[in-house]
Structure 1
Amino acid sequence: MLSYCTNVHPAEDLPGVLDQLDHFAVPIRERLGWDRLGLGIWLAAPVAAELAAEPASRRRLRAELTARGLAVVTMNAFPYGGFHDDVVKHRVFQPPWSDPARLRYTLDCVTVLSELLDEQAVYGSISTLPLGWREPWTSSRETRCAMALDELTRVLRTSEARAGRPIRLAVEPEPGSKLDNIAAAVDWLTGRVDPRFIGLCLDTCHLAVSFADPAAEVARIHAVGLDIVKVQLSAALELPDATDPHGRAALAGFSEPRYLHQVRERASDGTVHAIDDLPQAAAELPGVGTQRVHFHVPLHAEPTAPLVATTGVLRAALAAVTAVGPLPHLEVETYTWQVLPEPRGSTRVDVVAGTAAELDWANRTLDAVLAEERAAV
């Protein structure tokens, strides 16, 4: 089922979550003309804790979803809370998996998803952060992360035995984090986790920023017996030629104070230079290669030239994933509508129209990729 991630909405209490169903999710579904719409639901930690503690509230939320033609197969448990604060930046990586609060939050999400999981779902998925930001990092922190994931796995086994369907954790590599890319995540997870319950979330924006080859990375994951549990369909911002002064000026227009926008520049010899946020790009990158920015841009609308969106990486990743087995959960995750440069800064109506257009684009793209795969067989 194709879903969109509700972390695009700022609701951080249960009434707000219910409100966003009527003001965003239902209008999106109706605009698309779909009988059912998938939600990749995001709940801030206090809301997840409240729902986990109150079975009646979980049953009510499930009933409200069903009545509106909305279905849940996946959750996003990367942001802990405050995801629409004025400044988020590195705080989105807090608490790390070495902090017991991260385990408690994820366990609450397991309880909630077990109740909300759509009847047609083979499994449920929960995407999570790549352990934490890369610094500070110690061996004791690494040990605590491994212990927390072991405890989570024990709970996931019990949950599957009780419900008959697994809930699976999807670790999401992100540039600059402890698990900076797919290779780092595969190296860390292999031999440490039970692949039946813990795998990868492939975010195609993050994949593009790392300048990785989608087919090679999908093959890397499967070669060690891990699974891609979830794919987040997202596009990064690209400046093909960083020597272009107009392009550099256009890119600088995407610098904003809320979210972290990691930048990578690939030189002609293949060397990749890295910085942690877009405002540093002009001063700290060579400015001679191709630059890609962790800024989730709308899938259906190219940015103004000479900037482009990395939707080609998204298509290649989808093709690689469809070639190796059943589709994992697919989630459109463009959470940046409110911080796009003018004149694209959004209102409530813009988010409805834009998200519906993205879902339509993603659905048509998926159909085309699947048709190409069938033709190649």
Structure 2
Amino acid sequence: MRLRHRGGTPLHLGYCTNVHAAEDLDGVIAQFDVYAVPIRERLGSDVLGVGLWLAAPVAAALAADPALRARLRRELSARGLEVVTLNGFPYRSFQDPVVKHAVYHPDWTTHERLSYTLDLALVLADLLPDDVARGSVSTLPLAWRDPWDIGMADLAARRLDRLAAGLAAVESSTGRVVRVGFEPEPGCVVETTAQAVVRLADVDRDRLGICLDLAHLACAWEEPADALKELGRIGLPVVKVQLSAALESADPDALREYAEPRFLHQTRNPEGDAADDLDEAFERSLPGPWRVHYHVPLHVSPAAPLATTIPVMRAALAELVGGPRPLCDHFEVETYTWGVLPPALRPRTPGQLAAGIAAELEFARTELRDLGVRA
């Protein structure tokens, strides 16, 4: 959806398709009719933004074939869909029965991660609407924290230099600007915005920056105003914001039904006690309260003693769009965990999933409107 900041800057709001499992082009296009079009119609919007997730094989095929990219753009346009951002964090197989640590591979020490990200940038340059200034691609925060040493850090730094050069080449050949945002996440080499300021201080800030996932920010117990102030202090741009909410509870035992085998659910308390997954947090009896990296639908308030980190999201949005100029123009709802929610909360049909995503987008649109953003 296209919105407008009260200062006049266009803002883009969409949803991320990594909630769907397709890993070939025909499957990606089929999602549009099953989910995206019904979502757009429920919202009464002429145009719906979709933050595409393209697995590495389909990204490579599209990057190699201009005709395939033209086909994808036609398929989007015919359905009232547009793309300004891609999710390049998961490499492939993101909705497999077990994902866990596999989502962090290949990491930014590898040629595979660099090639995948540059493929996405080239694809996005051809998908961007003609009147949109730039595109964004989100990616993992370098790597999982272990193993990590000086040699790996140097290798990753060289990859990031090549990434910036590759993005410049995409701009030179297509005339379109694409920026890449590294997404701080608990357990990774870059867990927090404070670590981003240190580890990404020397990147090309015209082309590289931060993807700010608001559930991750909450799970790190960061204050949005402080985090954004630190990023602004060194001029590290927020190129994309993922609108997401994590689980929170003062009574950890109430979270047991959310322990599940597919995704990693990093758990933190405000004192800095940490576990890499819910099962581990229970085994170690971490003192509460807990915040858990478990993206939950934005518009749903769970029964007490459970809560979500929507207050953190609201505080972050106030900082991001509440001033005279927005600090970011790409906003993406990213609840990829619909399929692993407790059975009573889990959609059972594609129509129910589409309705849930539409409700999230309406919730997000209302939050932005309350801050003065308009259609």
TM-score norm. by structure 1 comes to: 0.93
Query: In 1, are the aligned partners of 2:248 and 2:309 still within 8 Å (CA)?
Result: yes
- State the match for 1:151 in structure 2: 162
| Greater Cα shift, 229-238 or 111-120 | 111-120
How far 1:163 moved relative to its partner?
3.1
Q: In the aligned structure 2, how far is the partner of 1:324 from the partner of 1:314?
A: 19
Kindly provide the CA deviation profile for residues 258-309 of structure 1, in whole angstroms up to 9, marking residues without a partner as x: 000000012xxxx22111000112231432x311000000000111211011
- State the match for 1:222 in structure 2: 232
1:64 to 48, 64, 75: 75
Q: In the aligned structure 1, how far is the partner of 2:240 from the partner of 2:298?
A: 18
TM-score norm. by structure 2 comes to: 0.94
Q: In the aligned structure 2, how far is the partner of 1:344 from the partner of 1:291?
A: 21
Count, aligned residues: 360
- State the match for 2:14 in structure 1: 3
1:81 to 82, 88, 92: 92
Kindly provide the CA deviation profile for residues 106-150 of structure 1, in whole angstroms up to 9, marking residues without a partner as x: 111011101101222211000000001000112121111111111
Aligned CA RMSD, in angstroms, stands at 1.3
How far 1:324 moved relative to its partner?
6.8
Q: In the aligned structure 2, how far is the partner of 1:34 from the partner of 1:164?
A: 29
| 2:195 counterpart of 1:196 | no
Kindly provide the CA deviation profile for residues 39-66 of structure 1, in whole angstroms up to 9, marking residues without a partner as x: 1110000010011111101000000101
- List aligned pairs for 1:10-159, cutoff 5 A: 10-159=21-170
SS of alignment partner, residue 83 of structure 2: strand
Query: In 1, are the aligned partners of 2:134 and 2:179 still within 8 Å (CA)?
Result: yes
2:215 to 193, 196, 205: 205
SS of alignment partner, residue 174 of structure 1: coil
The residue type paired with residue 363 of structure 1 is: R
- State the match for 2:308 in structure 1: 309
The residue type paired with residue 338 of structure 2 is: W
Runs of 4+ that moved beyond 6 A: none
2:188 to 142, 165, 177: 177
Q: CA separation of 1:302/1:197 partners in 2, compared to 1, >3 Å: closer, same or farther?
A: same
Q: In the aligned structure 2, how far is the partner of 1:173 from the partner of 1:107?
A: 20
- State the match for 2:370 in structure 1: 368
Q: In the aligned structure 2, how far is the partner of 1:145 from the partner of 1:225?
A: 21
How far 1:165 moved relative to its partner?
3.2
Q: In the aligned structure 2, how far is the partner of 1:334 from the partner of 1:153?
A: 29
Q: In the aligned structure 2, how far is the partner of 1:18 from the partner of 1:70?
A: 11
The residue type paired with residue 284 of structure 2 is: E
Structure 1: unaligned runs, 5 residues or longer: 243-247, 373-377
2:267 to 253, 263, 267: 263
- List aligned pairs for 1:291-330, cutoff 5 A: 291-322=290-321, 323=323, 325-326=325-326, 327-330=328-331
| 2:286 counterpart of 1:275 | no
Q: In the aligned structure 1, how far is the partner of 2:154 from the partner of 2:53?
A: 28
The residue type paired with residue 239 of structure 2 is: V
Kindly provide the CA deviation profile for residues 10-49 of structure 1, in whole angstroms up to 9, marking residues without a partner as x: 0011110010011010010011110000011100000100
How far 1:160 moved relative to its partner?
2.0
Query: In 2, are the aligned partners of 1:315 and 1:369 still within 8 Å (CA)?
Result: no
Q: In the aligned structure 1, how far is the partner of 2:13 from the partner of 2:291?
A: 26
Sequence identity, in percent? Answer: 51
The residue type paired with residue 370 of structure 1 is: G
Query: In 2, are the aligned partners of 1:296 and 1:334 still within 8 Å (CA)?
Result: yes
Q: CA separation of 1:324/1:164 partners in 2, compared to 1, >3 Å: closer, same or farther?
A: farther
Q: In the aligned structure 1, how far is the partner of 2:49 from the partner of 2:131?
A: 12
SS of alignment partner, residue 103 of structure 1: helix
SS of alignment partner, residue 159 of structure 1: helix
Q: In the aligned structure 1, how far is the partner of 2:62 from the partner of 2:128?
A: 14
SS of alignment partner, residue 370 of structure 1: coil
SS of alignment partner, residue 355 of structure 2: helix
SS of alignment partner, residue 34 of structure 2: helix
| Greater Cα shift, 200-209 or 164-173 | 164-173
Query: In 2, are the aligned partners of 1:264 and 1:275 still within 8 Å (CA)?
Result: yes
- State the match for 2:354 in structure 1: 352
- State the match for 1:252 in structure 2: 256
The residue type paired with residue 237 of structure 1 is: L
SS of alignment partner, residue 345 of structure 2: coil
Q: In the aligned structure 2, how far is the partner of 1:70 from the partner of 1:186?
A: 35
SS of alignment partner, residue 253 of structure 1: helix
- State the match for 1:238 in structure 2: 248
The residue type paired with residue 336 of structure 2 is: Y
Q: CA separation of 1:153/1:370 partners in 2, compared to 1, >3 Å: closer, same or farther?
A: same
Query: In 2, are the aligned partners of 1:236 and 1:293 still within 8 Å (CA)?
Result: yes
How far 1:176 moved relative to its partner?
0.3
How far 1:371 moved relative to its partner?
6.4
- State the match for 1:245 in structure 2: none
